[in-house]
Structure 1
């Protein structure tokens, strides 16, 4: 485990080598370490051969694959062509042996487990993620403080339509800014200007980083180790490092983002900039045009983000990619804890532990709260010193640089933010479009916009925060990839692929450590601006901490909090005495695979572990709530219509098997509340249940996912019910069941499946509401059957549950009820009503009479009867 406070946040995946030497994936492997791994691969291959000869085919198969995987790891960490060829040959033979075992059907049905957290697996995840926006970038290494370019400069990013319409071409920076240097150590946030490029989030990220460095001398500021004078021909021919510019100072400080983690930024960019025919640069600039780093860093970052036609991000994401400071996106109009948020950010801002920006939404146009002139979908930098006694933030517009960066207005006890649009004011002959120029305030407009903290949500949609990771003493990190699901996709399912992964978090608290834990989920992507990809993470006490009755609550499904952001931050305070937590990571979207990095940070020692091994047996079924099966929750009279399944657990293969366990996961679209329960009902369809009948599952409904688990189940037949919250809500779903016992899962036919059915409506009214004391003084219905039949009748009331019963009488020659033939039994007040089952009801000489009844007399209400029979039938009122 690394200590962040020292400060090094390289991707932390350690492998213990002989000699007690540990190394991380971020570093190049030393010859000694490479040789040790080569020895491990050879030993594994030899062991696999011996296992195969001993006819232990399962173990041989796993070991062959493990050895091949280690060889592939070695292949990625060598540049010798001959060694690469030899490794590929040996690895291919190992895979071939494993395939022969598989094809010979010598494997047991038990799935082959693999160690996703092994260094080989995680190394492969990082290698596969090195393709970003079409650029294959080499692995980052923390050993190089200023790596030399190893390849030609990357192509310049595509220009935006605005730049193209202005006639921009690529011009050497030395020509545009003959007196400029790459960077100075005296940069202030107010010195940086945004031009006619839709990347306000990037520019505000640079502004707050520069100002923080000026105030706290922090490492967040991109001051290069050796600034180069770009005057005349002194260094004009030298290429600028993508590592210096796009992920800047990440080699030795905090590369936490998926963009940085996946790559070693050694590709170069040249120093050309987009310039109009009038020699006006259209890129990020310094006010005095004396430094190049904003323009070059903007170009480098947009190279890996797809070009200058940048659709926009949020500044927390951009600054995270450039600094590793932990991003937090706080919606200001949804579940905002105003006082707690203010206290947290004001303390962090004053201590230099965080930087802030504010963002508007697409609807935040025109005058906001207090008459603010706001631009929609825009980012505003918060630059200045926060005074906790005066409790306010000061935001300085870099375009209106007459305001000093440390200006603080005396406002007594009011908590205020002072804001200015970060877009610069421009002369009429600039390259700005007339529409943009009209949208911006003129130079004569007020220099600052003042708003009370309490009014911020009315004008701004988001508060974007970046936190210094050096605030934590410990961190851990894992890189994982979840494969595509097997089977063919329909156009609908291809847009809603789902992945779910369980990990565990172990804390080692001590009496002096009271620290919350932060978990950061970063989604890997080759296209940082792709849409409709959603992620989430959630935390709960480990499922091993279960109740004595064996019922286990799996971690709450996180789908209700899914975000389409690249990153998701989860903060929690551990419970006293608790050291083990389950972490649930979810993905939904069109991408067939899901790769991610999970980082844990705390001032207590924290480690990420693999989740409990998956249970060996698994079945999946798909289903849907249709017009006839969307029954709603258990308080609805249509609950019995919901899809239900017979779950059969077989006997254990080994008498000495471990404690039996079953886990159920049901998934639907993220807008649909779903619930799943496992009931003791002998695999039969249920219309009601008591708490004692519930083997697993809760009463709550969750958006998108529901899960339940149970320990200690015996072989037998059980009923699984999958319901949506609202009746008549149409949607599809998927159910996956895992078990330590062999399992079978089959849909239970709907009520009345394959039978003739009739629906009749009636009511208990005066003169026909005799109750159970006068059962024949109730509404009567004639039942005529075409032959001997199995008959089923459901009696329901819709307005409110009543104590009900229904009976079938044989009729005499006069058509009056004569003999009771079948009954639903005692009166019941179930929401779904009373049910009568009469198997093999014989064909009678005269018709049968059906009498529905309430328990109490003179209880007036409307009712419905559903009558089923496996022969033709007629039902009519008498």
Structure 2
């Protein structure tokens, strides 16, 4: 968004708010009606310019004000109408996509977590669900530190009786599920700053008069209202969102009591008998494995508590600007459409003392304001034992500073961006009209694809008929063993990300040239905002790094103000064949500039009609630089690389995998060569050949297969010598192939390219010699792969006085100064002998 664009949007919003104030202060019905119509028109103008996360709210405001104008116009008591400001309640969209049987199983699998069952939410509980005193089993885990001060599980009345035995007031002893004054929630012994910061953010929204939609859903309730009620049987049922669905979380009201003044659960310093936050905390910690909670981030916690869409902004990212983020959040926050929390990164002790901040700790953002031209956030540290080392802002008045609770402070926007690392946003899902979810499994216990190769990754198509902004939310399902992995020394749960390609909803093989890619995050969720043109379909690829080697379940959600659909991505090709191969000591021939390139693994592909072909080479060694070429060859092994024979290749060598594609390949038999950059790099690989119609892929045997191999001693052509020969003895008729290769070529001590050579097989010497076979159609060649005499039948000389000779002739180097060293390899059906080289004089 450009600054002028943002200024125009701000202008329309300011005009709309001013018009709303004019409604309330109107002294006549006509003035009130005009102000209501004006406010609606200003919101309509803002709607056209607003980002997608604000569009739902502005649209609702327009409709609300139009309805309000109608009531002012038609109601006799119009003054009552103008006094009531309508803040519309946004209904979150529900995915209407029919789940497959496998997806239904995934949702059921997600119910089993950390020794408990959390079934999908079906309906609000009835009075029959609260029959008889309830005690949950088993009890939640405590850490060793918590056990040292643990004094047993106690009901709220017991806890309050013990904690406030000296209190004379009756209210001080009775637990409450709601309070009328402001709350001041803090953690103490528990390491759940993210949870308490989340609770502070939701309660702050309520205290700002923006409704209770962001509060976690809890039962029982006061009859005829949404207010939570005390359970007479000590049983509470929460509706939390995790593992792909809203689920039922049941707890009893017993809380961990302490032998000391330290608290083992969240408390409200303003209302010590306010029970609800501690119950929410217990329900959350139950699904996360217990009170020995290793920590999370508040964006994830809020997503679970109320289902609001999590987004994480990295404040130190070079693309993150305070102006853009403030503009995006300010009005959304004022309407209560987004909850904000924020986290520090790793800070040294010196930095913590100097900044007054806690290292790797989450804070709640309670308010935003512009004071004397300065943009400020109101931050709250949820830890009871930490006070910010931040002096009062000189722009604050004394009364405002005095009113702030301990641990709460204003900080300028620029300081926030400098001192904090992550900003967590949780958006009201009601801002969107449409939602579609798809649930899937990814078996990571099997061999994983190499970095940059997506052939094994889950992929999906996303389609938006009308276009617009689509939000893609990837959620990784929790597993019981995650608690063990994250708690282990140096343990981690890996990273997830998403890539988007302009691939028409078809599967892609490599990570090259994505339209958009997200960061790899260690959270169980990641969000991508995607702008789509009308009638477009993109491909979404799920990616990971270092996730535990097990089967993992995920949910991918698409949200938009226009109709949106998700589906598994389709293969671009109808037929896919996978072949396994390897580079061994005899077949790791290196790149096309290597003399041993022809020894690389080769395969034939036979097509029976014209087809598109994709060839993906995937190594099992991440560090191997790989390459694949497709040749015209009539199915023969490739012995020399000539550009006219290459149909397609994978371009530059790349680590782990390589892809070559050919369009409209005619019927025929072709050869595929799989290579590494350097010789003698060993490893296995998978070769995926995809085509539009069925084709046959077969491994080509090596040249030496079924042959006896004989290598000559090296022969040297010194400067001024251009012909040498060696006797070749065959015991009987045999099929034979000869390969002459340069060992080295030098001028003095400097290496140079080999001289062009011609290799022949001759019977006898002198004027009556017979040339039995020749290399390269009788032309001299300086190819790095050497010169070859292809298969021919060779019999012993009929006259014992005649010999069969291998002859090498060269065209001398510049000025005749090149010294060439050659050797010849013979591959024959019978064992042959190659004698010593004889150098002929000029």
TM-score normalised over the length of structure 2: 0.65
Label 1:521 to 1:577 Cα distance change in 2 as closer, same or farther (>3 A).
Answer: same
Whether 2:540 is the aligned partner of 1:583: answer: yes
Counterpart check, 1:517 vs 2:470: yes
Which of the residues 217, 238, 243 maps onto 2:238? 243
* Residues 846 and 630 of structure 1, relative CA distance in 2, 3 Å threshold: closer
Post-superposition offset of 1:809: 4.2
Superposed counterparts of 1:846-861, under 5 Å: 847-850=805-808
Cα distance, 1:480 vs. partner? 3.1
Contact 1:477/1:598 (<8 A) preserved: yes
Aligned equivalents of 2:760, 2:114: Cα separation in 1: 77
Structure 1 window deviating more from structure 2 (856-865 vs 195-204): it is 856-865
**1:537 — aligned with what?**
498
| Alpha-carbon separation, structure 2, partners of 1:371 and 1:601 | 43
Question: In structure 1, what is the equivalent of residue 210 of structure 2?
Answer: 217
How far, CA to CA, are the matches of 2:101 and 2:413 in structure 1? Answer: 53
Residue 133 of structure 1: aligned partner: 114
Instruction: Measure the CA separation in 2 of the matches of 1:294 and 1:587.
Output: 35
Rounded Cα–Cα distance in structure 1 between residues aligned with 2:236 and 2:265: 18
Given that residues 189 and 263 in structure 2 are in contact (C-alpha distance below 8 angstroms), is that contact kept between their aligned partners in structure 1? no
Q: Which of 578, 581, 605 is matched with 2:563 structurally?
A: 605
Please say if 1:277 is aligned against 2:272: no
- 3-state SS of paired residue (1:338): coil
Whether 1:474 and 2:434 are equivalent positions in the alignment is yes
Task: Check if 1:648 corresponds to 2:606.
Answer: yes
For the 8 Å contact 2:618–2:685, the answer to whether it is kept is yes
What residue in structure 1 maps to residue 311 of structure 2?
328
Of 187, 200, 215, the match for 1:207? 200
2:527 to 544, 547, 569: 569
Counterparts in 2 of 1:397 and 1:685: CA distance versus 1, 3 Å: farther
Q: Distance in 1 between matches of 2:458 and 2:294?
A: 31
Q: Give the superposition deviation at 1:839.
A: 2.1
The whole-number CA distance in structure 2 between the counterparts of 1:214 and 1:864 is 89
Which of 12, 36, 42 pairs up with 2:95? 12
1:690-701 to 2 correspondence within 5 Å?
Answer: 690=643, 693-695=646-648, 698-699=650-651
Q: What is the distance in 2 between the residues matched to 1:407 and 1:644?
A: 74
Change (3 A) 1:314 1:688: farther
Matches within 5 A, 1:56-67: none
- 628-637 or 347-356: which moved more? 628-637
Return closer, same or farther for 1:643/1:848 CA change in 2, 3 Å cut-off. closer
| 1:447–1:480 distance in 2 versus 1, CA, 3 Å | closer
Change (3 A) 1:167 1:672: same
Query: Please, which of 627, 630, 647 is the counterpart of residue 679 of structure 1?
Result: 630
Map 1:110-189; keep pairs closer than 5 Å: 119-141=100-122, 148=129, 153-177=136-160, 178-184=173-179, 187=182
Matched residue SS, 1:320: helix
Please give the per-residue CA displacement for 1:357-398, whole angstroms capped at 9, x wherever unaligned: 45456x654345995477655444445415496356553324
SS at match of 2:304: helix
**Aligned-residue offset at 1:268:** 1.4
- Asked if residue 839 in structure 1 is aligned to residue 791 in structure 2, the reply is yes
1: CA distance, partners of 2:538 / 2:447:
36
Assess, with a 3 A threshold, how the Cα gap between structure 1 residues 743 and 173 changes in structure 2: closer, same or farther.
farther
Name the CA distance, whole Å, in 1 between partners of 2:310 and 2:813. 63
Does the 8 A contact of 1:535 with 1:568 survive in 2?
yes
Q: CA deviation at 1:269?
A: 0.6
Conserved? CA contact 1:384–1:405, under 8 Å: no
**1:264 aligned residue:** 247
- Cα offset for 1:312? 2.7
The structural deviation recorded for 1:152 is 6.7
- Separation in 1, partners of 2:753, 2:198: 64
Judged with a 3 Å threshold, the aligned counterparts in structure 2 of structure 1 residues 133 and 224 are, in CA distance, closer, same or farther, namely closer
**Kept after mapping to 2: 8 A contact 1:326/1:467:** yes
Determine which of 710, 719, 733 is the counterpart of 2:671: 719
Larger Rg: 2
What are the Cα deviations for residues 14-60 of structure 1, in whole angstroms up to 9, with x where unaligned?
45xxxxxxxxxxxxxxxxxxxxxxxxxxxxxxxxxxxxxxxxxxxxx
Aligned equivalents of 2:810, 2:375: Cα separation in 1: 71
Report which stretch shifted further, 401-410 or 784-793: 401-410
* 2:461 partner SS: strand
Contact 2:343-2:422 at 8 Å conserved across structures: yes
Question: Aligned partners of 1:318, 1:477: CA distance in 2, in Å?
Answer: 20
- CA change 1:403–1:522 in 2 (3 A) is closer
Deviation of 1:120 after TM superposition, in Å, equals: 4.3
Q: How does 1:38-437 map to 2 (within 5 A)?
A: 119-141=100-122, 148=129, 153-177=136-160, 178-184=173-179, 187=182, 191-215=184-208, 217=210, 219-222=213-216, 235=230, 237-244=232-239, 247=240, 255=241, 258-259=242-243, 261-262=244-245, 264-265=247-248, 267-278=249-260, 280-288=262-270, 289-330=272-313, 336-340=317-321, 343-344=324-325, 347-349=328-330, 351-352=332-333, 354-359=338-343, 364-368=347-351, 371-372=354-355, 377-385=360-368, 387=370, 390-391=374-375, 393=377, 395-398=379-382, 399=384
> Given the two structures, how large is their TM-score scaled by the length of structure 1?
0.63
Q: 1:760 to 1:309 in 2, by over 3 A?
A: farther
Shift in Å, 1:710: 5.6
Q: Within 1, Cα distance between the matches of 2:820 and 2:529? A: 53
Q: Does 1:792 align with 2:729?
A: no
Deviation at 1:270, TM superposition (A): 0.9
For residues 643-690 of structure 1, the C-alpha deviation after alignment (integer angstroms, 9 at most, x for no partner) is: 443333457xxxxxxx95555555556955776656243444556464
Query: Secondary structure, in 3 states, of the residue corresponding to 2:287?
Result: helix
CA distance in 1, matches of 2:428, 2:472: 14
| Gap change, CA 1:540 and 1:835, over 3 Å in 2 | farther
> Residues 772-809 of structure 1: CA distance to partner in whole angstroms, max 9, x if unpaired?
xxxx648x685856665312245588999958644324
Matched residues, number? 684
- Structure 1 contact 543–554 (Cα < 8 Å) conserved: no
Q: Does the CA contact (< 8 Å) of 1:206 and 1:294 recur in 2? A: yes
CA distance in 1, matches of 2:362, 2:509: 42
CA spacing shift, 1:317–1:339, aligned 2, 3 Å: closer
Report the secondary structure of 1:509's partner residue: coil
Tell me, yes or no, if the aligned pair for 2:97 and 2:436 is still in contact at 8 Å: no
Bigger drift between 861-870 and 603-612 goes to 861-870
Q: 1:184 to 1:377 in 2, by over 3 A?
A: same
Equivalent in 759, 762, 768 of residue 808 of structure 1: 759
Q: Name structure 1 gaps, 5 residues minimum.
A: 16-117, 248-254, 412-423, 426-442, 547-551, 652-658, 771-775
Question: How many Å apart are 1:572 and its aligned residue?
Answer: 3.0
In 2: Cα distance, 1:170 partner to 1:339 partner: 46
- Structure 2 runs not aligned, ≥5 long: 1-54, 58-88, 161-172, 224-228, 397-404, 486-491, 798-802
The alpha-carbon distance between structure 1 residues 278 and 741, as it changes in their structure 2 partners (threshold 3 A), is same
Taking a change above 3 Å as real, the CA distance of residues 536 and 865 of structure 1, as seen in their structure-2 partners, is: farther
Retained in 2: the 8 A contact 1:184–1:227?
A: no
Shift of 1:702: 6.7
Distance 1:797 1:571 in 2: 58
Deviation at 1:627, TM superposition (A): 5.9
Q: 1:662 to 1:562 in 2, by over 3 A?
A: farther
